Structure 1
Amino acid sequence: MCGIVGYIGKRDAAPILMEGLHRLEYRGYDSAGIAVARAGELRVAKCKGRVRDLEKILPDRFKGSPGIAHTRWATHGEPSDRNAHPHCDSANRIAVIHNGIIENATALRRRLAAEGIVFRSETDTEVLAHLIAKMPHDSLEGAVRAALQMVVGAYGLAVLDATRPNALVVARNGSPVVLGIGDREMFVASDPSALVRHTQSVVHLDDGEVAVLRADGFETSTLEGDPTAKTASTIAWTDDAFDKLDFDHFMRKEIAEQPDAARRTLSGRLEPRFQTAHLGGLALDARELLEVRRIKILGCGSACISATMGAHLIEQLARLPAHAEPASEFRYRNPVIEPDTLYIAVSQSGETFDTLAAVQEVKRKGGRVLGIVNVVGSTIARECGRGIYLHAGPEVSVVSTKTFTCTVMAFALLALHLGRIRDLSTAHGGRLLKALSELPVQIESILARDAEIAELARQLLACEHAYFIGRAAGYAVAMEGALKLKEVSYLHAEAYPASELKHGPLALITPQTPTIVVMPRDDLFTKNISTVEEIRARGGPILAITHAGDLPVSVEGRFDVPRSEPELDPILLNIPLQLLAYHVALQKGRDIDKPRNLAKSVTVE
């Protein structure tokens, strides 16, 4: 949510900043703006809408350096030109861009208004600009520190003073900030994707840190001013990874990348000698893992659904009680943290605020927590200190596809590892290793039948509601399918356990409400057939996601996926539902990579 990018160096800032904003569009936003310093003056342009709308109003000779730019996702104040960032002080000397929420903004605003400050926006961020301008400090760094001492809340921010253009000051508390190190130039962003074209060397700020950026380097310290030592890391992703190439949308590209992403997740982790998985990042030996009596998995959105699948896999293969729950609710119920419970935090970006807060709650109470994340060096990865990296590659589209698939595969590896430590036999271990190694090719075979899914999608265009059902792990597949469809096509979709249909949801079935049934040919297949019969008796259309073979009921459409082992079938059953959501959205003319009201990385509560 929101995006920050900044530059200081000898080049004109505007082209670099605008390119960075384009790179950050996937995070979700409703307005954009830019500010540069030139000859002691601040030049600002901002507007509601997309980055392309900002480009249209940008003057031809918008030159200057340093500069900062921002994409905003509205929290305080509606999306509008005046609420767009950057925000400035009364003298138009200080410019601030900010991700996060200032919780005591109302009290600070009243105090500043009583002192004669006239506000030009409804945002909490403008309060920061006025506070910084009022601080009696000789340096911009000192003024920012003094202002932040008065602030309560989350922030990732960058500050520019047009009269002191030799430095940018940035700070972090709960919202990601990454420094990019160039050749006698420095960059700052909320996400490494904005930096990869210019540098691969980055430094991640920690909460409570302030950094001063100059063209020839940077200094970091605590909010109180004590120096901190930072070590640069290298971004593994290349600039090409953030391009759509020949695809019309990032979502479609990332669906197509799943076979290779799956291979990377598996690479080096299949151990045929002992018919198990090798997961060195866990940093827990067999004795410690044997002491674990239950597992709780925390995530938000698709990460929470993948956690549900993961819990099912762990219970099946390791015979350990496992449970998934939304990280956003976890810490508010004052959870009991047990010493024999292993907690797992799941986040594609590694920056999801609610999940990070849950991790910190577990650690505060003495619990053990692992991370399953995609972004190396992200906050959750560093906070956990151990876990599994997905290595899925960057995911730009707001909706999660390849990282969801790779997360479930990571859970399969973890479940296999835990199972083999306990009582899963070598025969069963070997069976699963073989099935895991075959998944990338099986995913390719599904993707090759894209036209079949596009045809099925046509059957959903005229309806206003759709229902997804499944049993056991198939219910989690149904939840993810419904979430994808509603996220990207705006068609109302709900998922229910198939066994619950007769306990209420059956009242919703009509000839105008299609039901997508996830029905693998497992030991629950006949029960799924019975549920389909109940829907058919009420005239409900059926689309079946199943395996090859005769169906003893008539359906309006079906798609057969290749068979894997029963524990891994859900991974393959989910792929056609990703394509189904994509094609419904495409045929409805939606903005597929930027669904309304949503953001890729949710960094506020």
Structure 2
Amino acid sequence: MCGIFAYLNYNVGRERRYILEVLFNGLRRLEYRGYDSAGIAIDADLCSPAIPKKEKENGGDEEARRPPYGSAPPLVFRQEGKIESLVRSVYSDVDAMDLNLEQSFSVHAGIAHTRWATHGVPSPRNSHPQSSDAWNEFLVVHNGIITNYEVLKETLIRHGFTFESETDTEVIPKLAKFVFDKIRDEEGEQTVTFSQVVTEVMRQLEGAYALIFKSAHYPNELIACKRGSTLILGVKELSDDKNSGKLFHDVKALTKDEKPKELFFSSDLCAIVEHTKNYLAIEDNEVVHIKDGCVSILKFDSGREKPASVQRALSVLEMEVEQIKKGNYDHFMQKEIHEQPHSLTTTMRGRLKDNSVVLGGLKDHLKTIRHSRRIIFIGCGTSYNAALAARPFLEELSGIPVSMELASDLLDRQGPIYREDTAVFVSQSGETADTLLALEYALENGALCVGVTNTVGSTLARKTHCGVHINAGCEIGVASTKAYTSQIVVMAMMALAIGADRISTQARRQDIINDLSSLPSKVSEVLKLDGEMRDLAESLIQTQSLLVFGRGYNYATALEGALKVKEVALMHSEGMLAGEMKHGPLALVDETLPIIVIATRDACFSKQQSVIQQLHARKGRLIVMCSKGDASTVGPMESCRVIEVPQVADCLQPVINIIPLQVSP
């Protein structure tokens, strides 16, 4: 998952060394997303434009080897491997160039990127920023995939462009140069605006993307745009008065003043929180242009020749700087796993009152939901698994049929959604591309759309009719953990609220509410298995595959546990419905294949005992998760490893059961 970051200072002097460090630190904040290469672009010294090596080797007259604009070409640094490799490489290169790191800029625009290879192997030439030509007339950093890049590439090659990378991204800066040259030839250089170039580029692109453009033709300007991928604008006004740090209430103010300020683009809030708490979540098809310290926002519409200007309000970030620090933990995922007692407490705070559940975001829509012909849960990955864990309980309490949809599959099939349906969209970030596309589809079909997200002000939160904020706090680890458990709890509370009018389930509801209150303490108890699960993980290091069997509420636990192993341990793992074991998977079992069976006390307990017996008969290498006190009932102790966890209400047991599986990778 690529990370993009940009920094622009206006009317405030910043040395080149400072600018470099801001860009490097922005990339470090995005490091958790996973990457294989990184790069940055900054400005050269204006007084001595550097002639590219390739151009020098080509010979020719001096004038022909000058850049086709009045400033020095931007400097681009790209490196395979870790960010620190890029840092060392940059400082080595600037020393070799004799570049003045102490030079101060009152205005400067820099861009940076971490890449996760999708098109082309990890290498400097495939890293970002990608360039339009040897003079770096247009530079682009990109998160996402351009699906029509091959067609665009063929067209650009016919017009004389030469490609150096294997990426889909390279077509974007080259397309920008093609558009710029064409408009300039037709209308004259002075009439070509940066936003005009970028909107025309957007008109040609298909796929999902977040883009930041830097151009030597438009020094000290940046343009960002997005379609499907997340992009954030952060704004920090600088002044000498006591109100320094209090930022703009809306973007309209940014279009008028010339106060000293720093502006940031990022694909993640965690990269801007140390600089400012004032931000704007850029929406799909918006073009955000920073020029002369002012921000203008245009709304791109493929059906219109010119985009319309729009005004947007800034949001205040609730995240604290401490949340993006690892503290005493080895990594962010470990920290967030151990934060779950707190995140669950925060998720439930103020919502369990007088033996009832109060969800302010849903109260005006509960009657409509109760009269739905069906409820559809829609999500991707971990969020889909959380919804799957909540489905049986929601069906039980509401009496409404509940179906599950992977967002991408729903779109591929164009599955039927009706006006009488309630579609519940689950996403930690609220910016998951496939989920947002599915949301647009459901809105077009007239369904009531409910959002379950961890991010206030996200696209999902803004576009759904109603919803619930899960309040899990900042999640930096790319493998979601605390958001997953909070999502289950939020959807359990949704089930309680939707089914509150059914007299037949009142006793059941009360039992669940009581267990919700005690859930954080039970999670603290199961976290004490950390050491035991580390030992188990070490014993599985040499294995090539892992199966996880679950049933009922814990089918979702099996899927999510296997997903965590894939994401973190990079090992093949597969979550399976235990009821399907005899329909193929049993043939895989032997004494070398580790198999986790989730057999805590619920309506499926006896069935899971039978599964254990069948796997034992095949000499399976068993790891059984059971409720405390059940070790002797789940299988022969000498042939399987047992993990005992606290017992809670069956519908909440997935919250407990997933934690050992989160810890083990």
Q: Above 0.5 in TM-score?
A: yes
- What is the alpha-carbon distance in structure 2 between the residues aligned to residue 178 and residue 314 of structure 1? 35
List aligned pairs for 1:443-482, cutoff 5 A. 443-482=523-562
Q: Helix, strand or coil for the counterpart of 2:125?
A: coil
1:515 deviation in Å? 1.9
What residue in structure 2 maps to residue 438 of structure 1?
A: 518
Aligned position for 1:490: 570
Residue from 573, 577, 591 that aligns with 2:661: 577
Which piece of structure 1 moves more, 256-265 or 346-355? 346-355
What does residue 96 of structure 1 align with? 140
CA contact (8 A) 1:342 1:368 kept: yes
> In the alignment, which residue of structure 2 is the partner of 1:394?
474
Q: Secondary structure at the match of 2:273?
A: coil
Q: Counterpart in 1 of 2:115? A: 72
Residue 48 of structure 2 is aligned to residue 17 of structure 1: no
| Residue 36 of structure 1: aligned partner | 42
Tell me which amino acid in the other structure corresponds to 1:248: D
Match of 2:321 among 236, 239, 245: 239
Q: Find the residue that maps to 1:101 and give its secondary structure.
A: strand
Q: Deviation per CA, 1:43-65, whole angstroms, max 9, x where unpaired?
A: 11012222222112112657562
Distance in 1 between residues matched to 2:295 and 2:286, nearest whole Å: 13
Query: What are the equivalent positions in structure 2 for 1:266-281 lying under 5 Å apart?
Result: 266-272=348-354, 275-281=355-361
Distance 2:521 2:263 in 1: 43
Q: Which residue of structure 2 lines up, in the alignment, with residue 597 of structure 1?
A: none
Question: 1:398: how far off?
Answer: 1.9
Larger radius of gyration: 2
1:326 pairs with 397, 406, 411, which one? Answer: 406
Over residues 495-528 of structure 1, what are the superposed CA-to-partner deviations in whole Å (9 max), with x where a residue is unaligned?
A: 2222222222111111112221111122332222
Q: Which residue of 1 aligns with 2:648?
A: 564
Match of residue 590 from structure 1:
none
RMSD: 1.9
Query: Which secondary structure state, in structure 2, belongs to the residue aligned with residue 182 of structure 1?
Result: strand
Match of 2:286 among 209, 222, 226: 209
Bigger drift between 381-390 and 528-537 goes to: 381-390
Question: What is aligned with 2:339?
Answer: 257
Alignment of structure 1 residues 361-400 onto 2, 5 Å: 361-400=441-480
1:168 equivalenced with 2:222 (yes/no): yes
* Equivalent AA in structure 2 for residue 193 of structure 1: C
Mapped to 2, the partners of 1:459 and 1:119 lie a distance apart of 48
Q: How big is the shift at 1:425?
A: 4.0
| Paired residue secondary structure (1:452) | helix
Q: Which stretch shows the higher mean deviation, 367-376 or 74-83?
A: 74-83
Q: 1:493 to 1:415 in 2, by over 3 A?
A: same
8 A Cα contact 2:365 2:466, kept in partner: no
SS of residue paired to 2:28: helix
Partner of 2:83: 51
Aligned equivalents of 2:448, 2:504: Cα separation in 1: 24
Shift of 1:295: 0.9
- For 1:147, which of 186, 189, 201 is the aligned residue? 201
Q: Is the Cα contact below 8 Å between 2:32 and 2:477 reproduced in 1?
A: yes
Report the Cα offset of residue 207 of structure 1. 1.4
Amino acid at match of 1:110: E
3-state SS of the aligned residue for 2:207? coil
The answer for unaligned runs of 5 or more in structure 1 is 582-605
TM-score normalised to the size of structure 1? 0.92
Between 295-304 and 164-173, report the one with greater CA deviation: 164-173
CA contact (8 A) 1:47 1:80 kept: yes
Deviates most, 6-15 or 354-363 = 6-15
Normalization by structure 2: what TM-score?
0.84
| 3-state SS in 2 of match to 1:395 | coil
Amino acid at match of 2:43: A
Q: Give unpaired runs (5+ residues) of structure 2.
A: 47-70, 185-190, 238-260, 301-305
Say whether the 8 Å CA contact 1:185–1:214 is kept in structure 2.
no
Letter in 2 for 1:53: S
Query: 2: distance between equivalents of 1:313 and 1:218?
Result: 48
Residue in 2 that maps onto 1:189: 266
What are the Cα deviations for residues 111-152 of structure 1, in whole angstroms up to 9, with x where unaligned? 222222222222232222122223124332222223333333
Aligned mates of 1:400, 1:289 — CA distance in 2: 28
SS in 2 for 1:344: strand
Whole-Å Cα distance in 1 between the matches of residues 167 and 607 of structure 2?
54
Secondary structure at the counterpart of residue 66 of structure 1: strand
Q: Which has the higher contact order (CA 8 A, sep 6+)?
A: 1
8 Å CA contact retained: 1:308, 1:323: no
> Closer, same or farther in 2 for the Cα pair 1:542/1:8, shift >3 Å?
same
Equivalent pairs: percent with the same residue? 36
Aligned residue number for residue 258 of structure 2: none
The answer to whether the 8 A contact 2:236-2:263 is kept is yes
Write the distance in 2 (CA, Å) between the matches of 1:281 and 1:523.
33
Is contact 1:299-1:327 (8 Å) kept? Answer: yes
Q: Return the alpha-carbon distance in structure 1 between the equivalents of residues 510 and 41 of structure 2.
A: 59
On the 8 A contact 1:176/1:379 being kept in 2, the answer is no
Preserved contact between residue 317 and residue 424 of structure 1 (Cα < 8 Å): no
Code of the aligned partner of 1:252: Q
Which is further off, 444-453 or 62-71? 62-71
SS of aligned partner of 2:122: coil
Residue identity in the other structure for 2:266? A
